[in-house]
Amino acid sequence: MAWVKLEEELGIDLLPVPRRNPTIESLRGKALHCKACALHKTRKNVVFGEGNLRASLMFVGEAPGAEEDQQGRPFVGASGMLLDKMISAMGLKRNQCYISNVVKCRPPNNRDPNPLEISSCFGYIKKEIEILNPQVICTLGRVATKTLLGLKEKDAFSSVRGKWHTFEGIPLMPTYHPSYLLRNPDKKREAWEDLKQIMKRLGNENV
């Protein structure tokens, strides 16, 4: 494939999801060359999802930050370190989960992605979920939650967080984004209660 050749020529792995599923392969390759919105002009790397293609649990954030844009991997900065701790507290490892974002390119200055950017990228996350078919989706933060649940801008994140919803028939639990928890550590207890609900849904008898 052209994108594989490009990676080899550059000597880097732009999209490090294990190359086992040809459908995910095709989706990643398409995202790598995507110019559907203006973010392609400022990105360093497309940041596609990565993780276990047979994962029971899928985390969905909003968009890459500076560190993610630099490395081409989701959740590798400070937020990623906290997410890793959250996953570990659930009795899981990062490589047992699948982690992605609604938007695959970094918005300048780490601003929230705008409606055009979200709609341009929505097909990717929708297809990722369809292919992976996890047992549970955990949305991280307001943008990811409102996007997957189809909420209006006026709808409060607090009204849906910590409650079960569905996306395409898959149970979905919204919780706080790790970056929000870094700024508001007093909310970590609430986030932990959300994660405990996920653990119960996944059959963890120790919760």
Q: Give the predicted TM-score (pTM) of the model.
A: 0.87
- What crossing angle do the helices spanning 115-132 and 22-32 adopt, rounded to 10°? 160
Give the pLDDT confidence score for residue 10 in this predicted structure.
44
Q: How far apart are CA 101 and CA 203, in angstroms?
A: 25
Domain spans in the chain, listed from the N-terminal domain onward: 2-201
Looking at the domain covering 2-201, what would its CATH class be?
alpha beta
pLDDT tens column, 87-105:
999 999 999 999 999 999 9
Residues 6+ apart with CB under 8 A from 35: none
Residue 22 has pLDDT above 90, yes or no: no
What pLDDT does residue 205 have? 55
| Digit-coded pLDDT (tens) for 62-75 | 999 999 999 999 99
